[in-house]
Structure formats: C-alpha cells, structure tokens
Structure 1
C-alpha cells in the first residue's frame, strides 16, 4: 500500500510503515506497534490530517510515538482509503485504547503512597475556576 504527494511518501510493506519527507527524513515503524490510525480535521487550518499512534517498545521507558501529517486537499480521499485499508488488512484500530491520561482528571489519586497536605484557599479557588473553564469548553 502506498500514499504519496509532492514532498511526502507513506508505504506499508512487509509489516512496516515507512513515512518519508523529501529532504527531511524517514521514519519506519512496525505495523504491529500501531495502536491507532485515523483521519481528522487538521490542527493547522482546514483540511485533513493523518494521525498514527505507536506504542513504545516493550520494556522501554519511551513514550508512545505520534505521527501527524497534514494532507493536501486533492489527496484526502486517497488518505482515507489508505487508513481504511490499514484498519481492515492489518487490524489497526481507528483510535487507541483509553489510557490513564484519557480517563479524566483526578484531584488527588486514591493511593496510599501519596502524601496529602492542606491546600491554600487561593489554590482551591484556582482549581475550581480551571475545572469550570474545562467543563465550559467541552460543552
């Protein structure tokens, strides 16, 4: 499977995803490490963005790797088709399993290893204001 436009090339061959940016670099990742592949609205304006999330190598301290690529308008349908083929041919999900970070904010973890001290009233007020703003932004 291949997807390309001027300055960018993406291939899925022999169990590897290879991202190549002309004159910039190449990233090669195993398809088995891809925990999500999706298309969504671009963060840099209109259009579409490819987003791939890869889990770290087992037993490493590395964080997940996320690759985002803005798709030129004339290649959007090809990008959607590429991602759909990944879903079906390689069982790559369209979104990752929820992680601790995705499960929501906790004020203080319920964990005996955490030390908790009284909080200053100004900090309490700031916390309430931030939580209200977050709730309002999500509505």
Structure 2
C-alpha cells in the first residue's frame, strides 16, 4: 500500500457517513490539489483528491469526534450529501492536464464509452 501526504489545510470538505451493516463509519475527505489556493474560490472536481477511510464500529464515536475537531480546527466545511451525484459526468482524456493515471487499456476505453453512452441515453429518456 502507498501513502498520501496531504496537509489538513488543503482539505475542502469532510463527512462522516454510515458504512457497513455493523455500525461502522466512513470518513470521506476531499482535498484540493497542491497547486490550487483556497482564495481562488472555484474548486473543480478534477482538482480534488478524495480519501475514504473505513472505521470499524468500535471506533465510530472516536472517528466522529476526530472529524468534528479537524473541521473546527481547520475551517473545513461539511460535505454536501450526494454532492458527487450532482456534478456533471464527463470523461477526462489521457492527453488532458487533468489526467492523473496511466492510460487505460483498449477494453477499458471501450467499456467507458459504452457506459457513458448508456448514461447519456438513459438521461435523455
């Protein structure tokens, strides 16, 4: 496993959500990229790094307190419920400056195209 080294001051939102059937929680952090300053105002989805941390049920209360303190200490706003679903879906091409991963294999590209086409056609109905 790798590590992610991000400053708390770069966290733009934090949420604690129910996760699993046993009462566990998921901490959901969204960080802006290092190159984007908080004063710029507009945060684009492609400029964000999302980190999910699953917390077992026995640590759920501690995780909630941690999230509250982190948000208070660093001025982090709460993540809007279902915010990801409200963003327009768009494909980032591998030659774009926003591309952050290695090129996808041809079968994956075909799958992406088919899924996006199905989503577009179902939203038009």
SS at match of 1:89: helix
TM-score, length-normalised on structure 1?
A: 0.49
Q: Which residue of 1 aligns with 2:75?
A: 91
Q: 1:132 to 1:56 in 2, by over 3 A?
A: same
Q: Which residue of 1 aligns with 2:33?
A: 56
Query: How far apart are 1:54 and its partner, in Å?
Result: 0.4
Pick 1 or 2: higher relative contact order, CA cutoff 8 A, min separation 6.
2
Single out whichever of 62-71 and 82-91 deviates more from structure 2. Answer: 62-71
Q: 2:6 aligns with which of 14, 29, 36?
A: 29
Q: 1:103 to 1:63 in 2, by over 3 A?
A: closer
Q: Which residue of 1 aligns with 2:123?
A: 131
Structure 2, unpaired ranges of 5+: 37-45, 90-116
TM-score, length-normalised on structure 2?
A: 0.54
Alpha-carbon RMSD across the aligned residues, in angstroms, is: 3.3
Q: 1:73 aligns with which of 37, 53, 57?
A: 57
Higher-helix-fraction structure: 2
Higher-strand-fraction structure: 1
Higher-Rg member (1/2): 1
